Structure 1
C-alpha cells in the first residue's frame, strides 16, 4: 500500500511537524499519495488546546507543496472532523465551503469529555464508558453524514483503564453492528487506523473483528491511515494492515479524490 490517508502536521494542535517534513518522509518511503487530515474539532473541551485548523493557511501551504512536489508524490486535501450532534450545521457548512478531497468523521468528544483524559472513565465501569462512546457514534450517524469514512471507531479503547484487555467485538456487538449497518446504509466507509499499534494495543483501530464484520455485512469502502503526527509514524505498520484486510475478505482499499472513492488492489 503506497498511500496514507490519515496524517497530521503542525496545522493540527497536537502536532509540531512541519508539513514539508512529512512530505519529504512520505517520498523517502516510496508513497505515491498522502492525504493530510488536519483536526477540526469545534468546541473542544480542553481550554489549553484548540483543535480548529486554520483552513485558509493549511490550504495555501498544501497547494504550494502540491505544485512543488507534483512529479514526486500526490498530495491531497483532507480533514478530520470532530463530530457532535449539535454541531451538525457547522460541520456541514465547513465541508460544503471547502474543496476537500477526503473527510474523516471522528468521535473525540463525548458529552463534553474526551476519552484521552482519565476523567472520561471516572464514576462508571470501563464497559459503561465504552458503551457510552459507541452510543455517541450511533447518535452522530443518525444526525449527519457529511464525511466519507468514520475514523478509528474504537478510539476509546486506546485510553481505557485496561485498554483492550477485556475488550472484544463480541462483547460490544450490539452497538458495533448498529454502527456498521448505519455506515453501510449511508454509503460511508471505515478506516483501518494503525495508530492502535502505537498505543500499545497490538491491533489497529478498529479491531480486525470489526473490519471483518463490516465486510461480512457488505461494507466495501475502507481507507488506510497511520494517524501519524510526526514523520517517523507515516505508513507505520501498513504491512500488518494489508494482511489484516486480506484476512477480513477485502481485495481493495479506497483512495479519495474530490470526495469520490477509487479502488486499488491491496499489496
Structure 2
C-alpha cells in the first residue's frame, strides 16, 4: 500500500478528525508510515476558517503519537504551508525556527490576492478564465520566490476543483506558459511535485495536478513525486491510490517519495 503523506486532523481549521483516527485508519489499510500535514496558512484572516496552526501544541502532540505507535507505524511530522508572496519574511523565519522539527513540508497555493477560490465571490470577481489564469500566475511567482521553504509543491492545479465548470474549461495546454516554468523551477531547485488524489474525489477523473502535468514534469527531468490523499476524514485516507499508481507508472515514474528529516527516500511504485 502506498503511504499517505498529505492528510489532516483536528489541528487543521477545516477538520475535526482526531489524530488517532487517522493513524488507526492508516494501520487498517496496511500503510507502513504516514505523514500528517496540518494546515498553516498565515495571514488568512479573510477566510471564515482559522488556518493558523498552533505549532508548539502540534509538535508536542505529534511527538507523543510517534512514541505511542513506535514499532506499529511510522508517523512523520509534516505541515502544509500556505504560500503567499508577501509572507516571504515570515515564511523564511518560520523555516529558520521550525524547519528542522518537520520531516516534510508541503508548499501550497490556496489564495489569490486575499481571496479564496473555494468561495463563489472569487469567480464572480475574476470570471472563470481569468480566475484560473491568476491562480497559475501567482503560483509561478511563489515557486520562484519561496522554493526554499518547502519540499514538495502541493496540488498544483488544485483550483480546478472549485472552478464553476471544474476542468471543462481547463487543460494543461491552455495554461502551459505558467505551468511549465513552475515545473522547471521545482526541478532546478530539487523540489518535489505532489500527486494529490483529491481531484479524483472531487469528480475530476484525474488527480491534482492532471496526468498531463505529471507526465510533463517527468519529461522535463522531474523525479521527486510525493503522494497524498488530502484526507480530512478517515474515509478518504489513501483514496484512489491504486489508480494513482497506474497514472504515475504511465507517466514514466517508477518511484514515489517519502521525506524523513526533510530528506527524500525513493520507494518503488
Where on the TM-score scale, by shorter chain, does this alignment land: which range?
Answer: over 0.9
Partner deviation per Cα, 1:179-228 (whole Å, 9 max, x = no partner): 11111111111000000111111110000100000000000000000000
> What's the TM-score, normalizing by structure 2?
0.96
Matched residue of 1:201: which SS?
coil
Rounded to whole Å, the distance in 2 between the matches of 1:94 and 1:203 is 33
Alignment of 1:191-210 (within 5 A): 191-210=194-213
Tell me if 1:7 matches 2:10. Answer: no
Structure 2 spans left out of the alignment, 5+ residues: none
Relative distance call for 1:121 and 1:45 in structure 2 (3 A) is farther
User: Structure 1 residue 45: deviation in Å?
Assistant: 4.0
Aligned length: 266
Aligned to 2:166: 163
Aligned to 2:50: 50
Tell whether the 8 Å contact from 1:104 to 1:148 is kept in structure 2 after alignment: yes
Structure 1 spans left out of the alignment, 5+ residues: none
User: Structure 1 residue 124: deviation in Å?
Assistant: 3.2
Aligned to 1:61: 61
Structure number with higher helix proportion: 2
In structure 1, which of residues 182, 186, 193 is the aligned counterpart of residue 185 of structure 2?
A: 182
Tell whether the 8 Å contact from 1:45 to 1:109 is kept in structure 2 after alignment: no
Matched residue of 2:169: which SS?
coil
Tell whether the 8 Å contact from 1:45 to 1:114 is kept in structure 2 after alignment: no
Rounded to whole Å, the distance in 2 between the matches of 1:49 and 1:213 is 35
Rounded to whole Å, the distance in 2 between the matches of 1:246 and 1:135 is 29
In structure 2, which of residues 115, 129, 132 is the aligned counterpart of residue 130 of structure 1?
A: 132
Rounded to whole Å, the distance in 2 between the matches of 1:168 and 1:104 is 24
Alignment of 1:229-248 (within 5 A): 229-248=232-251
Tell me if 1:74 matches 2:74. Answer: yes
Tell whether the 8 Å contact from 2:158 to 2:208 is kept in structure 1 after alignment: yes
Partner deviation per Cα, 1:33-90 (whole Å, 9 max, x = no partner): 1101110001114353110111111111111111111111000010000000110111
Tell whether the 8 Å contact from 2:8 to 2:230 is kept in structure 1 after alignment: yes
Aligned to 2:122: 120
Tell whether the 8 Å contact from 1:45 to 1:113 is kept in structure 2 after alignment: no
Tell whether the 8 Å contact from 2:77 to 2:103 is kept in structure 1 after alignment: yes
User: Structure 1 residue 143: deviation in Å?
Assistant: 1.3
Partner deviation per Cα, 1:225-261 (whole Å, 9 max, x = no partner): 0000011111010001100000000000011001000
Rounded to whole Å, the distance in 2 between the matches of 1:45 and 1:176 is 28
> What's the TM-score, normalizing by structure 1?
0.97
